[in-house]
Amino acid sequence: MRGLGIHPIRTGTAAVKVPFMTRHGGPVASRLRIFTSKAFTPPFPILSWLIEHDEGDILIDAGMSESCLAPDYLRSLGRVDAWVATHLCRFDMAPGDGLGPQLRRIRPRGTDGLRVAMTHLHLDHIGGLSDLPGVPVLVNRAEWQRPFGAPKPLLAAMTPDCFEFKATDTVPGFDAWYPLTREGDLFAIPAPGHTKNHCAIVLKRAGVTVLFAGDAVYDQGQLSRLEIAGAHVSARLALDTMQRMHRFIQAEPTVVLPSHDADAERRLNAAETFRH
Ligand SMILES: [Zn+2]
């Protein structure tokens, strides 16, 4: 949304096996349903968010690079990740829609003075980092030390600036944060469940609060229904995170922007806050 200085960047789409989206039964049964299902979801967007800021612009997650269109790209991720990315997911991207070209269209000075803050380290969030050589990347230390489902060759190419959450009593529902700006208007909060150390990011600007939810939920409807995705590593942590988000949203009206929500860009443009 131009008024808020937030630019959505959609680097193609992903589709996943249907049971990725909703958990049924325990962890083993849920995993098995993902592996055995033949049905794929409709394609959903892969979203990153560029935030203009006086202290230096910040990109939340990096989406995918156009290099993913190369026939050998997925194979280069290693055997397991290549299998997951080809059998359980389907990625699609039009030429020119990789992170680098889109960023240059929005921000003519390219990566100059830019920083990236990661919610977690999955392929569709770190793939675009290859378009941003030399750009500082902020990752919470626990996610970096114990990444889950992150392709090793892409991790090996990263040298992130790790941060650690600090105790706070200023964020309703949450007891830790890490300010990403000196002003404190942009900060990360722990939002585990999708991965063990996944985080979300909050921006407060011009009377509007925006929650960049990452993959804590795949869309706002899941947050509304407290619906746990089948792909989450911990159902218990994912539910706790969603309940904390509810307490946060009750305390202040919030625009909720998950990374794969097809309706997120419209809600951002309309500054539409979360409603049950
Ligand atoms: Zn993810």
Task: Specify burial of residue 134 (Cβ count, 10 A radius: 0-12, 13-18, 19+).
Answer: exposed
Q: How many Å lie between the centroid of ligand 1 and the Cα of residue 151?
A: 12
* Residue 276 within any structural domain of the chain: no
Q: How many Å lie between the centroid of ligand 1 and the Cα of residue 197?
A: 11
**Closest residue by Cα to residue 27 from 193, 255, 170, 242:** 193
Q: How many Å lie between the centroid of ligand 1 and the Cα of residue 72?
A: 22
> CB–CB of 150/126 below 8 Å?
yes
CA–CA distance, 256 with 240 (Å, rounded to integer): 17
> CB–CB of 213/188 below 8 Å?
no
CA–CA distance, 152 with 147 (Å, rounded to integer): 9
* Residue 202 within any structural domain of the chain: yes
pLDDT (average), residues 161-174:
97
Phi, psi for 162 (deg, rounded to 5): -85, 145
CA–CA distance, 160 with 143 (Å, rounded to integer): 11
**What local confidence, expressed as pLDDT, does residue 2 receive?**
52
* Residue 203 within any structural domain of the chain: yes
* Residue 16 within any structural domain of the chain: yes
Q: Check pLDDT > 80 for residue 10.
A: yes
pTM check: above 0.85: yes
- Count CA within 13 A, CB hemisphere, residue 247: 11
First to last CA, the chain: 23
- Residue ranges making up the domain that contains 30: 2-270
Q: How many Å lie between the centroid of ligand 1 and the Cα of residue 270?
A: 26
CA–CA distance, 115 with 45 (Å, rounded to integer): 22
* Residue 8 within any structural domain of the chain: yes
Cα dist. 48→23, 31, 119, 226 in Å? Answer: 25, 27, 10, 24
**pLDDT category of residue 188 using cuts at 50, 70 and 90:** very high
**What local confidence, expressed as pLDDT, does residue 53 receive?**
97
CA–CA distance, 93 with 35 (Å, rounded to integer): 24
61-87 pLDDT per residue, tens: 999 999 988 888 988 988 888 888 888
Number of structural domains the chain divides into: 1
Bridge partners, residue 50, by sequence: 7, 59
Q: How many Å lie between the centroid of ligand 1 and the Cα of residue 120?
A: 7
Q: How many Å lie between the centroid of ligand 1 and the Cα of residue 194?
A: 7
Strand order through the sheet with 176-179: 166-167, 176-179, 186-190, 199-205, 208-214, 254-258
Q: How many Å lie between the centroid of ligand 1 and the Cα of residue 146?
A: 14
* Residue 125 within any structural domain of the chain: yes
Residues measured by CB to lie within 5 Å of ligand 1, the ion: 122, 215
* Residue 275 within any structural domain of the chain: no
Q: How many Å lie between the centroid of ligand 1 and the Cα of residue 149?
A: 8
**What local confidence, expressed as pLDDT, does residue 254 receive?**
97
CA–CA distance, 228 with 249 (Å, rounded to integer): 18
Q: Which domain CATH number covers 226?
A: 3.60.15.10
* Residue 63 within any structural domain of the chain: yes
